């Protein structure tokens, strides 16, 4: 992976909202995504699917909302259930900032969200961003950032993201509906930082159980 990407500092006057250029394919990321939230490259399929669903580049989504995406994946792993975009979308809705450069934020649907905010104040996160450049990547052969020759998620700022309102917007399979019912009875909101801390723990189930409930 290290041979496929190059992390580059941005030049004076360069903004995360800039579109495609003659440079190598690239996208922008905030430092806090990696420092705080455990985001990794390449993105998971769930993360790519979400960015495509809302038509958003990675940097358009607020760090706290990335925290929700990450915590949901960890929670599903702990509970032994499949990570499902429709299940996640059931609990959230998307708020769009003032166009054309407003940040996108997730908030709980009318059924309520799953997690607390990672941080109540993310000051100056917009000033700490860098460019992720793809180096010598063949879109027709690469499977990390491309699929069938096309990007697996929007690389560049999208002026028209897609709003959604959570509950009832997507059809759920029987198994997804069962997962929604099980998640709905959890003592929400779960502590986002606690859930994220379980990502690499050998005792993930015990950590969640001791804080909230008996899983088994």
Asked whether 54 and 85 are in contact (CB, 8 A), the reply is no
- pTM (global) more than 0.85: yes
pLDDT at 215 (0 to 100):
42
Task: Give me the chain's average pLDDT, please.
Answer: 90
Q: What is the pLDDT of residues 126-166, one digit of tens each?
A: 889 999 999 989 999 999 999 999 999 999 999 999 999 87
pLDDT (tens place) for every residue of the chain, 216 residues total: 667 899 999 888 888 887 777 678 999 999 999 999 999 999 999 999 999 999 999 999 999 999 999 999 999 999 999 999 999 999 999 999 988 889 999 999 999 999 999 999 888 898 899 999 999 899 999 999 999 999 999 999 999 999 998 776 678 999 999 999 999 999 999 999 999 999 987 666 555 665 665 443
Token pair, residue 20, equals 């495609």
Q: What's the Cα-to-Cα distance from 178 to each of 49, 129, 174, rounded to whole Å?
A: 21, 39, 6
If phi > 0 it is left, if psi is from -120 to 50 it is alpha, else beta; for residue 136 that is left
pLDDT at 65 (0 to 100):
98
In the DSSP assignment, the letter for residue 38 is -
- Residue spans of beta strands (DSSP E) within 31-185: 92-96, 104-108, 129-134, 146-147, 150-151
């Amino acid at each position: 992976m290290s041979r496929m990407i190059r992390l580059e500092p941005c030049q004076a006057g360069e903004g995360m909202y800039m579109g495609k250029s003659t440079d190598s394919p690239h996208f922008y990321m905030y430092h806090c995504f990696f420092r705080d939230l455990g985001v990794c490259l390449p993105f998971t399929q769930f993360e790519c699917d979400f960015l495509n669903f809302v038509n958003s580049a990675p940097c358009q989504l607020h760090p706290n909302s990335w925290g929700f995406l990450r915590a949901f994946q960890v929670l599903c792993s702990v509970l032994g259930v499949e990570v499902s975009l429709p299940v996640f979308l059931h609990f959230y809705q998307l708020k769009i900032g003032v166009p054309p450069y407003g940040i996108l934020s997730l908030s709980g649907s009318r059924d309520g969200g799953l997690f607390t905010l990672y941080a109540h104040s993310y000051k100056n996160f917009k000033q700490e961003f860098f460019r992720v450049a793809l180096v010598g990547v063949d879109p027709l052969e690469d499977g990390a950032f491309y699929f069938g020759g096309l990007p697996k998620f929007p690389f560049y700022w999208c002026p028209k993201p897609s709003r959604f309102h959570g509950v009832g917007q997507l059809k759920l399979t029987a198994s997804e509906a069962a997962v929604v019912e099980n998640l709905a009875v959890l003592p929400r909101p779960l502590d986002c930082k606690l859930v994220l801390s379980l990502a690499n723990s050998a005792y993930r189930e015990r950590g969640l159980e001791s804080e909230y409930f008996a899983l088994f």
